[in-house]
Amino acid sequence: MLSVLTNHRLNILSADIIGFSVLSLAVFFGGIRGNAWQSVIKDLLMFGAIAVLFFTIPYRYFGGFGDMFSQMMQKIPSHLTMPGPTHKLTLSWFWTTVILTGFGQWMWPQWFNVAFSAKGPRTLKLQAVFMPFYQLVKVAVITIGFAAVLIFATQKVGGNEVVLRLAQQIFPPWALAIFALAAVLSAIVPAGPIIMMSCTMLARNVYAKLVPQTTDRQMFNMTRWLVFVVTFAALILAVVAHSLIVTVLLVAYDFIAQLVPAVIIGGLLWRRATGRGWRRDWWSAGG
């Protein structure tokens, strides 16, 4: 984003360093409460920006939604059908990946960390009800992406630059600045809980085991300072193997989805499950 906004006068490495620095500072000083407020601001800005793009692009570039979809059907029909224009991945790969990703989404430890900080059970229930509606935004984003294939057909524009390029053409400078802020928060908000949980697990499950006399205060401080270590490691991976991110995500989601039977059956349906696992006294008593 920083590179695109400066017309690539700022190289990718410098932009990555600035971005990861902002991320680490936001997590270090904001914590869970700060991340929650960042999420609120991000959602308001993002919903507004996507709505403007979704309703402006069809009429500005195509004359309306009907003409836009007609051109899509005529010029890029392969984008509207499975398996897509590349034909490298089959339909079975697609639907199994969607299912595993959907189940794996709720198995990540950072979701448990966020759940423990909720105000109460009702908050978690409301989140479970409204979270699926959040995915409807992707319909608008995908539509904008298809439109961009037509708009930039004669130009060489990177996939990660498309939405920002469209925003530059549509928004005035002040609105573009707000849009850029929304995009920055869209990166910080989901990354925040992941970093916090990673640091918590390293401090509690690794450092505290190696140094048993660690106090709670020391563990808390260790968790905070590990934010910079974990973020720096992510920066190195982003610079060295930036194209690896999709593969890493797919493998990680498929791997973590294996916990679904244990969590669903053992945690929700099997009443004899306990926080410590199988109780030895229950086993000794003959079950």
Output the six-digit token pair for 227.
Answer: 């934010």
Taking each continuous run of H as one helix and of E as one strand, the counts in the chain are: 14, 0
- Each residue of 118-164: pLDDT tens digit? 788 888 888 778 877 877 888 898 899 899 999 998 888 777 788 88
What are the structure tokens assigned to 279, written together? 């109780």
Task: Please give the distance of CA 188 from its chain centroid, rounded to a whole number.
Answer: 9
pLDDT at 11: 86
- Convert the pLDDT of each residue in 83-123 to its tens digit: 777 777 788 888 888 888 888 888 887 777 677 777 888 88
| Block residue for tokens 């034909």 | 87
Residue 83: cis peptide before it, omega within 30 degrees of 0: yes
Contact of 141 with 50, CB cutoff 8 Å: yes
